Amino acid sequence: MSLISIGPPAFDVDVALAYATSDNFTGRPVYGRAECWLHPEAARHLGRAVRLAEALGLRLRIFDAFRPQEAQWILWNHTPDPEFLADPRRGSPHSRGVAVDLTLVDAGGRALDMGTAFDAFTPLSHHGNTGISPEAQKNRYLLQGIMTTAGWDFYASEWWHYQLFGAQRFPLLSDSVLATSMMG
């Protein structure tokens, strides 16, 4: 299985992989290398989303994409919450290379207000939550419109998570599919 590297110049996105830093819910880096990868089919859909955002003067900031099974176990062992994390025994769309966590940024690189931070594991993170500001609600709907128009499915509990329809048809992948380990 060959995954596609996601980043400039091929993809005009801002890659800010949260799990390659300690700025994530575990409080420590999960990935040894900050590399962004997707299955070729997911990469095509992401390219469509990039173009749709660009037409509005916006860019996508990616927090996570392919997540090796090894990383999924680390996250699950830290916070085994099935509302926000896939049980690695079942498998995550991220570990299949067909999911992306992201937000929108303006021309100056500032993230649009989405009402919560990425990986805020609360009901305020749910799509359609009206307990956030009207501006944040609009921004979430904008992101959802861009992503669903580009062919992505959304996950109701996380405004930032999008995956290909029928994600289970793709195989689970470990770090060994990459030429250089992400877990490193």
| Active site (annotated) includes residue 41 | no
In Å, what is the CA distance from 98 to each residue of 24, 67, 109?
Answer: 21, 10, 25
Which position among 35, 41, 70, 158 bears the catalytic label? 158
Q: Please tell me the distance from the alpha carbon of residue 130 to that of residue 43, in angstroms, as a whole number.
A: 32
Nearest to 100 by CA among 24, 175, 18: 18
Q: Please tell me the distance from the alpha carbon of residue 92 to that of residue 121, in angstroms, as a whole number.
A: 17
Residue 103 backbone phi and psi in degrees, to 5:
-140, 180
The answer to whether residues 12 and 59 touch, using CB atoms and an 8 Å cutoff, is yes
| Alpha-carbon Rg for the chain in angstroms | 15
Annotated catalytic residues are 158
